Homo-oligomer: A and B are copies of this chain.
Amino acid sequence: MNTFGHLFRVTTFGESHGPAIGCVIDGCPPGLAIAPEEFAHDLARRATGTSRHTSQRHETDEVEILSGVYEGITTGTPIALLIRNTDARSKDYTRIAEQFRPGHADYTYWQKYGLRDPRGGGRSSARETTMRVAAGVIAKKWLMQRHGILVRGYVAQIGDVVPRNGGPRGHDWSAVESNPFFWPDAAQVPELETYMDALRKSGDSVGARLVAVADGVPPGWGEPIYGKLDGELAAAMMSINAVKGVEIGTGFASVSQKGSEHRDQMTRDGFQSNHAGGVLGGISSGQQIVVSVAFKPTSSLRLPVDGVDIHGDVAEIITTGRHDPCVGLRATPICEAMLALVLMDQALRHRAQCGDVGEVSPRIPGETKPDAKR
């Protein structure tokens, strides 16, 4: 199960400190222009070592396109992308291989497989998400070119800190991309710098909440009952390392709402609110898709803790490697990528069953239904 998606299928492979990571993207529509350098922007947004607030591992993340693209155009055959690991450390993993770091997958991989690759977390490392971002670049491009869909994200909470301006306003997202925290309120950035510096010095970590949104999604995407758009978004986000919660629209706050408040009224001018987060009955409504994601504080701390090893002995666990004090800080492009991958897959599935957009949907109530052949 290292494949994501049904028709636009992304299979990733590779370990954190193995020779390379990569992915195979199958089912991509033919005719899309794609060049190796187009991956750079989003990969840099996800990369470590770009500020003092993230892990200091330095990877060049150069993407080689091995297949599926001829003279710069996708051919419809599988697109293989490869990134060599260049800053993998060849240190001695003997001791680490026998310990279970608390809050990590060490123990569970050992239980499942009977052995594990201990180098930098192996397969369970966040390094795998690099390929999600790379695949997301292709999905984002197709969604924009074909449907005018814009996928974006920002950090909506770090520890207890929330944006004082409530998040990006309309199409002005400039603040988000101009600070290392993907923070929508520029005025708070100095304060966050101080906060993160103190946290890093303490050797501890903190959680974060991210919001990913998609504008321009036509109504009608999503497959009831078990392939719902929101259901697949939930799976997509929860599959990201360190995620512990997912909300669509108003999310958990809707528990306290009354129905008369939550139901988004429709008028001839469209919906009057968006508590639903753009999804009704598992199908896109044409409103903005809004997904909120909770990232736990990373468990890789310099603060020692007692644990056990594979021999059953008590061991003091110190995680000395290069780690992020707040893993959520680099997760914005990852959440965007997963949102884009879900939309891309649903777009293809929708036109498989219902024909291409324009045949059936989107429709304006009151206008003549197109004489669709389906």
Contact = CB atoms under 8 A, between A and B. Distances in A.
B113 A360 contact: yes
A148 to B, nearest CB: 12
Contacts of A103: 259, 262-264, 276, 280
Contact of A285 (B107, B303, B309, B367): B107
A22 B348 CA distance: 26
Contacts of A306: 265, 267
B108 A312 contact: no
A312 B364 contact: yes
Contacts of A113: 30-31, 75-76, 354, 360
Contacts of A299: 259, 262-263
Nearest to A284: B108
B224 A105 contact: yes
Interface string A287-320: 0000000111111110101111111111000000
Interface string A315-332: 000000000000000000
Contacts of A9: 3
Nearest to A199: B258
A365 interface: yes
Contacts of A348: 352-353
A361 B282 CA distance: 32
B258 A21 contact: no
A57 interface: no
A205 interface: yes
B223 A294 contact: no
Contact of A2 (B26, B251, B252, B307): B26
Interface stretch (A122-130, A165-173, A175-183, A186-194): A122-130
Contacts of A18: 66-67
Contact of A297 (B68, B249, B258, B373): B258
A13 B2 contact: no
Contact of A111 (B233, B279, B361): B361
B7 A352 contact: yes
A52 interface: no
19 contacts: A1-B349, A13-B67, A27-B353, A28-B353, A31-B374, A75-B115, A76-B353, A100-B266, A102-B263, A109-B281, A113-B354, A124-B224, A206-B256, A209-B255, A226-B235, A231-B234, A265-B307, A313-B366, A352-B352
Kindly list the 7 A-B residue pairs having the minimum CB-CB distance in the complex, ordered from nearest.
A312-B366, A105-B281, A1-B227, A103-B263, A205-B259, A108-B283, A352-B352
Given A73-B115, A259-B299, 6 more contacts: A77-B117, A103-B262, A109-B224, A234-B238, A261-B297, A310-B366
